[in-house]
Structure 1
């Protein structure tokens, strides 16, 4: 944002002397920044003693500003725009530069996710850190816009890819509350802190090359962490590298002063992982109905969140004429969003978190057209609520996606969703352009997309307080709408319909119906085969922590079966 510094030229040296072509912009007469009256003609008329009022200016010949431009330095000392004169006939290169960067992010997210599932989280993480840092630094030495934009592509290639790899590495290595803490406050607050620091650094480094150096070189300081950050033990198991995974777990046990068991991975079946779960691609995300439904729904969610996030972020420049202050305010609002996500994911289901954030974002934007112009503060408040909600939803989607998909597809799935999100960020500027036809059309479009995506999120499987799936078969057992609502056998007691505590519909039959896309209302439940609760029971601890009943499994008065 600050390196590009979208600027307009003040004019050529001739224009500053009053010879610039006069035009009308927004009903106001002003001098052109991109053309002038032909210098030899103006000088000839001046030599003949003509005054400006003696000449019909519309008949004078014109020429481009062949002597170059002078740029205002009130805000920026130098930018990429001023460095390569990306103005007037070359002004299209300004948004195209950003587009190339987003294309790099798209390619990196799409392909490097699959590479990470094939070769490991750790190599991709550190390689993309180096790629991003080095190519950002190399941009300083660009001798042309073409060279700069090629380097910009490779900068984007490593940008989000290392974020995704780090996110998945942490999700697979950490457990329980620590994992939730890392996925929310750990990652989210780190991003927000960097976001808040950016306008502060840019305020003091107003030369684009100095800013590039300040944001690129610190990335190289992380490379020595290669010798301290372990590979994902879940990924190692998925590749059949049991000895390495066990050695890592024993080292972790020693560091935490916990005694490791004699056999760390007692239930590990090498054949299940090494023969059935190798060499998966993005196509595996669309082979079965329940994985396909989750993939499509999450892709749409990510696209909507990204479009809304960037749409609202780009529009925050209207909050204040100072771009540094506007960027700072837009960044600060994400800090409380991260805390909100942390507590929400800790105590609430993922579906409720996702739906609530998307509905709040959609409603806040849909209310904007109803705000009278005199209540500008209310419009700003609703817009900031939208930014808060989209920032929170983005954090939730990373955690939700990592928990839904199995280890062998987790990075591929997150990469695909992240790539789809880049399409949303590319759409955001075009959605904002709809304001030319109707002022409030952009918030109406983004708000409608948000509410629609919230409805789609209702059909995602729930992952709250459930272990991460390791194989595709594990994900097949994730509860869809059909599975979650209809595994328990329905029976009538005292005139009230309730779920049986002692039997259930046959699990394989329900899973098959769910895979076929059957909804609860499509099936005659009385005809489904039944089976006892062979997986045991869960017991309420509202009154007792444990009893003889729960210990030996007799008496089913307080039991609810496992599904």
Structure 2
């Protein structure tokens, strides 16, 4: 069924100038800018260090005498003794009775303003920040279902356009109406409603117009682009200092891509599977022109005459659970999404709140680490296979979270409390999380069939969003109850990620499945060595066949 399309793709070029330009323009430049627009709300919602405003002298909140006179001393969730950030003495001259702050004084060493500092979403109202993330991620859950189905039914291009439009609209709503908590939340939900469908659509198109050997390269482009955007984003905030101009600047970068979205290529593989043969030929010829190649007339006629009977769309995403092998693969991948997303979200949210150093540089350093992590992930994925790379990364993450949790106990003078120990643990953890993401993206692309590939990716986003909705509450419990809670929970989830990775089948150099039936036949007991041998034989056979046809 897929032979004619594969032959057509070989003729027009599956590793030519078109694929390279598409990857640079969309999977790198666009993905970098999109990462800033998608994640800018994380930094905008950072809760700044704060205390009650001392009534006698608003300019001396750092004066030790006034602090000790007006602000009570308390123990935080890790047992440290410090000044309360939410209480002030009612009448320090007469009693030790306390009350909540009337006004707040914020540490503006690094941030000029954030949304919580602008509207005092701190102390008892701090839960509002966690709720914003939770509501937004719930919106992502719903959006993942809708846009995953929509992308496989209506096409990759229209999904890209609608998703990008919603992201821009949602951010504009939040910026303009931030004085209303309800409308601000609605804007956040709209922006995150399409989830990752925008950038995912272009990645899927790239995967479906490229040779198998380019799949890893495309994933590398995408991962490096995301890390680049995450690195530039805090530096831009550091320069602008205030949340509103920061969000405007990062959101406006998306407008040119929306304006020129009509030039986006539709996946010819998707068009072929959906029996839209004339459009498929048109897009293939578009690729051929850029690659200085030509689609043979006989191949074109064969494409036009081929009719594919495909009933996979009837059940939609439920088809991903048809058959024992496919169902197990789907469940395992969904758990991997949960494990890495929860870990990653906690890492990036906590890095933006660093009070003992420059939070912007901390955020940037962690993001820079993702770039070498991507190359290492790509190298390992091609050398030892996808599942072994994933299992090593998850076990490294489990170890890091265990050490981070243990760091919250014991004497502050012990070696584990050295600043460089904490920084190293976080950087290594971010490194391993990046490799985990890289592997799960590859597995999603290579285990799901064409007719359900975007549904499968969006189902992963659904569970990823659900996990991210838990992250702010996990941090909230760490701040309010026990600082060890995030580390313990994430160490356990990462450990089970190791087991899930090991039980998945290897997909290195395996042909992309076109139908649910083919996806069900992916074998779990295929070894890395046998895949390398099989890939080598198939490559030689393909070359010989191409020479005979010429």
> Conserved in 1, the CA contact under 8 Å of 2:135 and 2:469?
no
Q: How far is the alpha carbon of 1:367 from its aligned partner?
A: 5.2
User: Does the alignment pair 1:150 with 2:186?
Assistant: yes
> Conserved in 2, the CA contact under 8 Å of 1:11 and 1:33?
yes
For 1:429-480, what per-residue CA distance to the aligned partner results, in whole angstroms no more than 9, with x for missing partners? 4555469887656434423332322222222222211221111122122113
CA distance in 1, matches of 2:395, 2:433: 10
SS in 1 for 2:73: strand
For 1:504-539, what per-residue CA distance to the aligned partner results, in whole angstroms no more than 9, with x for missing partners? xxxxxxxxxxxxxxxxxxxxxxxxxxxxxxxxx969
Partner in structure 2 of residue 384 of structure 1: 427
Partner in structure 2 of residue 25 of structure 1: 74
User: Does the alignment pair 1:463 with 2:499?
Assistant: no
CA distance in 2, matches of 1:158, 1:8: 33
TM-score normalised to the size of structure 2? 0.77
CA distance in 2, matches of 1:81, 1:390: 28
Compared with structure 1, are the counterparts of its residues 319 and 228 closer, same or farther at alpha carbon in structure 2 (3 Å cutoff)? Answer: same
Partner in structure 2 of residue 83 of structure 1: 118
CA distance in 2, matches of 1:188, 1:177: 17
CA distance in 2, matches of 1:89, 1:379: 29
CA distance in 2, matches of 1:221, 1:539: 41
Partner in structure 2 of residue 5 of structure 1: 46
Q: How far is the alpha carbon of 1:347 from its aligned partner?
A: 4.0
Aligned ranges for residues 513-532 of structure 1 at < 5 Å? Answer: none
Bigger helix share = 2
Partner in structure 1 of residue 12 of structure 2: none
CA distance in 2, matches of 1:461, 1:367: 31
**What is the number of equivalent residue pairs in this alignment?**
473
Higher relative contact order, chain-length normalized (CA < 8 Å, sep 6+): 2
User: Does the alignment pair 1:407 with 2:407?
Assistant: no
For 1:392-428, what per-residue CA distance to the aligned partner results, in whole angstroms no more than 9, with x for missing partners? 1102111211110001111111111111112222333
Partner in structure 1 of residue 324 of structure 2: 289
User: Does the alignment pair 1:259 with 2:308?
Assistant: no
Alignment equivalent of 2:362, drawn from 326, 338, 341 = 326
User: Does the alignment pair 1:93 with 2:128?
Assistant: yes
Partner in structure 1 of residue 7 of structure 2: none
Please identify, of 448-457 and 22-31, the stretch whose mean Cα deviation from structure 2 is larger.
22-31
Partner in structure 1 of residue 415 of structure 2: 374
Compared with structure 1, are the counterparts of its residues 410 and 478 closer, same or farther at alpha carbon in structure 2 (3 Å cutoff)? Answer: same
Q: How far is the alpha carbon of 1:219 from its aligned partner?
A: 0.6
For 1:247-293, what per-residue CA distance to the aligned partner results, in whole angstroms no more than 9, with x for missing partners? 2112212221123222437489855444x233442221223211110
SS in 1 for 2:227: helix
CA distance in 1, matches of 2:323, 2:238: 51
Aligned ranges for residues 496-511 of structure 1 at < 5 Å? Answer: none
Bigger strand share = 1
